[in-house]
Amino acid sequence: GIQVEQSPPDLILQEGANSTLRCNFSDSVNNLQWFHQNPWGQLINLFYIPSGTKQNGRLSATTVATERYSLLYISSSQTTDSGVYFCAVSQGGTASKLTFGTGTRLQVTL
């Protein structure tokens, strides 16, 4: 099956700093999503981004499907950004059979 690797595995930032999270996948995909799992375990869908660039407030994401990677940018980080960030991919166009990546654990400190 498809392999999804995320880097870095762990990241500690001071509040206000910027960061880039990376997601590499081993085969072509038609569906790619980014999620944030907060410290209480709730998963929030951040982006559906099989290709191109999207922005939502302080977050933006870029997927280069031909090179099999996606990037999540967090600007001016806040303590509420802490948690685990997952990318998930599938080779169908729908959200079925999403394979989740290894995750990046982010801690934002004051």
Partner 1 sequence: SAVISQKPSRDICQRGTSLTIQCQVDSQVTMMFWYRQQPGQSLTLIATANQGSEATYESGFVIDKFPISRPNLTFSTLTVSNMSPEDSSIYLCSAATNEKLFFGSGTQLSVL
Per CB under 8 A, contacts with partner 1 among 40-79 are 41-43, 45, 48, 50
Q: How many residues are given for the chain?
A: 110
42 Cβ neighbours under 8 A, 6+ residues apart = none
Interaction of residue 24 with partner 1, rule CB under 8 A: no
Number of other residues whose CB lies within 10 A of the CB of residue 95: 12
Verify binding: residue 95, partner 1, rule CB under 8 A: yes
The yes or no reply on residue 94 touching partner 1 (CB under 8 A) is yes
- One of 7, 60, 82, 102 touching partner 1 (CB under 8 A): 102
DSSP H/E element including 53: strand 52-56
> How many angstroms separate the CA atoms of 95 and 109, rounded?
34
Decide: is 98 part of the binding site for partner 1 (CB under 8 A): yes
What residue ranges bind partner 1 (CB under 8 A)? 31, 33, 35, 41-43, 45, 48, 50, 86, 88, 93-103
